[in-house]
Structure 1
Amino acid sequence: MSHKKVLFSVALLIFLGSLEKSIVTTPLPVIGQVLNATEHLTWVITAYLIAATSIIPICGKLSDLWGRIKVINVSLVIFIVGSLLCSFATTLDGLIVARAIQGIGGGGLISLAFIVISDVIPARDVGKYQGYISLIYVVSNVTGPILGSLLTEYISWRMIFAINLPLGLLAIFIITKTIKPCTSTIKRNLDWLGAALFTTSTGLVILLVGGSINLSPLLLLIALGWILFSVIYLAVSKRPSLIPWHMFKLDNYLACLCLMGASQIIMIVGLVYFPLHMQWQEGISLVNSGHAMILFTLGICAGAYVAGKQIARTGYYKTYIFVGFLLNIISFALLFQKILLIPLFPIIGFGLGCTLPALTCAVQNVLPVSDRGIGMSFFGYVRELSGTLGIAMFASVGELATGFNLSVYAFIYLITAIITGIALIGTLYTINDRNMLCSSVN
């Protein structure tokens, strides 16, 4: 099958699933006015994030058991139904429920897109194509708020959901025509109890860290107990586990999970806090700060292109992970010292562009075919969860910054530099550079 057609197909999946995380952020005040709801509006975002993040490993596991195409199509149908319900919502509660349904489908799309690339693209080209997919993932996050504001301003806020109907149907048609089943399914049942425990525990972690709910001490203790019980069950259950624990013994796998978490925190700082810093601290206008963020995006494009091409040519990936984190630690140290601001955006973006596809290739290179679905999707789960928890972590640094006699943004940049430094050391001592072109795993 044509690699370009496969790339277009999975790019559409990534675009749909990832775009809906951020497209609703700018129209949120308008939605609140129309639905006569001024409180709990953030649940419109939170419901999607919780559902999408929680479902990612389950979809990956199901794709190992049932096949990729079947799970992709089911995810698309759920995503389309959720989008349709969102576009017709007349109350905030109805919209929140619809967003959760939409998130279940969106999480499946994000999960399966990366897996399909690892299935279809041969090892010699996988770096290049994973670079393209990583780029599309980032760009869709960046363009979401812009597209959301334009659709709301010139048509209606309901269009930010309704636009997914024709795109979703197009995706079903293209996926069915383009991608052929290429992996044998495993005749084994999913541990549905484990999946339910995993999903609810992920939601509780996001809610507790993000401060989306205020619990009494008793309810907090019950929530923490539930999370602990879920972890113990998944670790000791004799049923076929949702997460095969032997994956964590694979060379590079656990290290790449941690490094991806660090990369996603850097990404969140760029996407969320660079615009806020420019507008609130430097007095840069909304339009000009948007133009400056283009530099960040272009840096990611350049980094993903260079790293992807070089990994495809040489088969090695450790150098690009190291270079990416090195550029980022230098940049955030300069940001902390207030030496530069906007000129560092493309450098930080370039570092991220190098790191993201290289980490994805490193993970794919060690996963056996039988665990590739759950292995790649759990990697995606860590990526999404790290971003969500990163937002929650940085949202609570105000008091700490005051205690250290630092501004909020300086403190955020300091924390990010420390995290990046740890990641840089981790890359040196934990990543074993295996040649993808010679690997027998793929």
Structure 2
Amino acid sequence: MSSSAPAAQAIPTPVHDHRAIMRVIGGIVLCILLAALDQTVVIPAVPAIANDLNGFGHLSWIVTAYLIVSTVTTPLYGKLSDSFGRRRLLMVAITLFIGASVACALAQTLGQLILFRALQGVGGGGLMSLAQAAIADVVAPRQRGRYQGYLATVWAVASIAGPLVGGWVSDYMSWRWLFWVNVPLGLLAMAMCHRGLAMLAPRGGPARVDWLGALLLAVAIVAFLLAMSWGGDVYDWLSPELAALLLAAAVAVALLAWQERRAADPMLPPRLFANRAYVMGVAASALSALNIFLCIFALPLHFQLVRGADASTSGLLVMPFLLATVAGNFIVAWVAPRVGRMRGILTAGYVAGALGLIVLALVTPAVPLAVVLMAMTLAGVGLGITMVATLMSVQNVLERRDTGAGTGALLVLRSLGSALGGALAGTLLTLEFRHALAASGVKQALDLGALRHGSEALAQLSPAVRHVLADGVESGFHLIFAAGAAASVLALLVVRSMPDLELRSSVTEHAATLAMD
């Protein structure tokens, strides 16, 4: 940091007052709610959908189609909003989301529903990225944690409530109401965002869309997400199909790097990746997302396969971890304005996350449940701290012209990290169980992918195999949480080498000077 930067003696006041910011937050919160619910609420309704539409093939695509398309469109919305404005693009995204929700509710075949879910993802991709970018437009980085905490709380509550709501609605009403409810919520979000975001300065500069860059980025994202989704389940990790997908992703990334250097208005401006603070912040954030989804995947299975809990009980036991991540968000909201720098906060978060995961990697079935809950709470608080703190750090060094593109790229890398975390946990569990099964000499044929369905798989196994299962899955969870701890340590090393920049006191202060100091 240069000596010319003024040292803040008090917590600065944001450009907009709290009441004006809350008018923006109200609509954005509804956007976050819609985006979060649509990732989880449909999952428990899948059996009811299959029965109603008489379709039992490719059911996973009801969820996967939305996830892939929303991830692909996230950076496109971010980049276009830098030219055309957040409010205009957010209106487009919400309109598409509502229209596709109506189409999903009216779908008559499984193929139609999958197609309409993909179209819904086109709208959903803008909800999260534009919401985060809009906050960056109206709240100074030093104050941003407070409002990010509100969004994180909504996201966590929606993630917890989504499966419960989806199951209840599909049991007692109709799965179609899961999509109809998006219409009034979407219209309310549209009205609130249109009014609240009116304070933003209009953007109307000419934009030359980098369509080739967008296509190459889409190919890379789709290939990687398909590989993570199919690996160890549909195809073996060493299969030619998985190798082809990963190779396609790598080639697309290489071509994208070439294209972005020559494009007049690149989808991912190369200047972003010349910024050391930005690159390190994005890398650390992706590792945080990897760890959170590794835990979300592994913890319920740990309680079911190691401690004998049923599916409902395991879901309740995971809630302390999810609530702890929200607590971590609010810790950042309270500490960041007072400290004014993020490296120390990030260090504390990754240390806490690593310690919690190390304890989880060492526990055995004989360890009291209270110890497991304390360890996962510590890990949740630490990882919750890092998710908000990395976003604040990254947006702090972005120039205003790059806020949308830079935030969109961060969210995409988080999505890829999340997919990798779930795939890593599932693969380690399956491989360790396979090793234990081979060492025991048990000959019973097994669908190893059934392990991912938790306690439902146990009833189908013989007593001998259950004994092997106990040893294999326990070792698998040790490896999973050890890998998570290693990822936290790696992220810690990354953030310790980041420039410890002062958080800007105004949304209009030029970030480029901070990044160069």
Instruction: Tell me the alpha carbon deviations over residues 304-352 of structure 1, each in whole angstroms, 9 at most, x when there is no partner.
Output: 1121121123322222211111111111111111153122232222112
Report the Cα distance in structure 2 between the residues aligned to 1:214 and 1:297, rounded to whole angstroms.
Answer: 31
**Residue of structure 1 in register with 2:194 after alignment:** 176
CA distance, structure 1, for counterparts of residue 326 and residue 227 of structure 2:
35
306, 314, 317: which is aligned to 1:281?
306
Distance 1:320 1:225 in 2: 38
Gap change, CA 1:169 and 1:22, over 3 Å in 2 = same
| Number of corresponding residues | 442
**What is aligned with 1:317?**
342
Shift in CA distance, 330/165, structure 1 to aligned 2, threshold 3 Å: same
Is residue 14–residue 113 contact of structure 1 (8 Å, CA) maintained in 2? yes
Match runs of 1:27-46 below 5 Å: 27-46=45-64
1:185–1:380: structure 2 CA closer, same or farther, 3 Å change rule?
A: farther
- Structure 1 gaps of 5+ residues are none
Give the Cα separation in 2 of the matches to 1:398 and 1:214.
Answer: 16
Q: Provide the residue aligned with 1:412 in structure 2.
A: 480
What secondary structure sits across from 2:201 in the alignment?
coil
How far is 1:29 from its partner? 1.8
Q: 1:232 aligns with which of 226, 241, 255?
A: 255
- Show CA shifts across 1:374-393 (max 9, x none): 01111111111211232223
SS of the residue aligned with 2:324?
Answer: helix
Moved more, 7-16 or 335-344: 335-344
Partner of 2:36: 18
State how 1:119-130 maps to structure 2 within 5 Å. 119-130=137-148
After TM superposition, give the deviation of residue 214 of structure 1 in Å.
Answer: 5.7
Q: Which moved more, 1:140-149 or 1:327-336?
A: 140-149
Q: What's the secondary structure of 2:43's corresponding residue?
A: coil
Equivalent in the alignment of 1:358: 389
Pair 1:204-2:223 in alignment: yes
SS at match of 1:434: coil
- Aligned mates of 2:79, 2:285 — CA distance in 1: 20
- Identical counterparts, % of pairs: 29
What CA distance in whole angstroms lies between the structure 2 residues aligned with 1:38 and 1:408? 31
Letter in 2 for 1:435: L
Give the superposition deviation at 1:373.
0.8
Q: Which has the larger radius of gyration?
A: 2
Distance 1:220 1:396 in 2: 16
CA distance in 2: counterparts of 1:55 and 1:66, whole angstroms: 16
Does the CA-based 8 Å contact 1:302-1:350 persist in structure 2? yes
Summarize deviations over 1:40-75 as a string: whole Å, max 9, x none.
111111101100111111000010111111110111
The within-5 A match list for 1:158-307 is 158-180=176-198, 181-182=200-201, 184-211=203-230, 217=240, 221=244, 224-225=247-248, 228-229=251-252, 231-237=254-260, 238-239=262-263, 240-307=265-332
- 1:259-318 alpha-carbon deviations (Å, 9 max, x no partner): 111111121123222122112221223343333233223212222112112112332222
User: Which residue does the alignment assign to 2:175?
Assistant: 157
Following TM superposition, by how much is the alpha carbon of 1:173 offset from its aligned partner in structure 2, in angstroms? 0.7
Moved more, 322-331 or 196-205: 196-205
Q: What displacement does 1:399 show?
A: 4.6
Q: Is contact 2:223-2:245 (8 Å) kept?
A: no
Matches of 2:163 and 2:241, distance apart in 1: 39
Q: Bigger shift: 249-258 or 125-134?
A: 125-134
Return the offset for 1:198: 1.5
Give the distance between the partners of 1:327 and 1:287, measured in 2 at CA: 28
Contact conserved, 1:234 with 1:242, CA < 8 A, in 2?
A: no
Q: Structure 1 308/70 Cα, relative in aligned 2: closer, same or farther at 3 Å?
A: same
Query: In the TM superposition, what is the alpha-carbon distance from 1:131 to its structure 2 partner?
Result: 2.6
Per mean C-alpha deviation after superposition, the further-off stretch among 212-221 and 99-108 is: 212-221
> SS of the residue aligned with 2:500?
coil
Pairwise CA distance, 1:96 = 0.8
> What SS does the aligned partner of 1:430 have?
coil
- What displacement does 1:156 show? 1.2
Q: CA deviation at 1:251?
A: 3.8
Contact 1:134 1:356 in 2 (8 A): no
Partner of 1:61: 79
Displacement of 1:425? 1.8
- Measure, in 1, the Cα distance between the counterparts of 2:417 and 2:342: 22
Superposition TM-score, scaled by structure 2 size: 0.80
Displacement of 1:234? 4.1
SS at match of 1:26: helix
SS in 1 for 2:497: helix
Deviations 1:112-146 (A, max 9, x none): 01000000113342121123223333332232212
Higher mean Cα deviation, 183-192 or 357-366? 183-192
Give yes or no for contact 2:429–2:477 (8 Å, CA) kept in 1. no
Amino acid at match of 1:334: V
Q: 8 Å contact 2:346–2:390 — kept in the other structure? A: yes
Q: CA, structure 1 residues 391+274, in 2 after alignment: closer, same or farther (shift >3 Å)? A: same
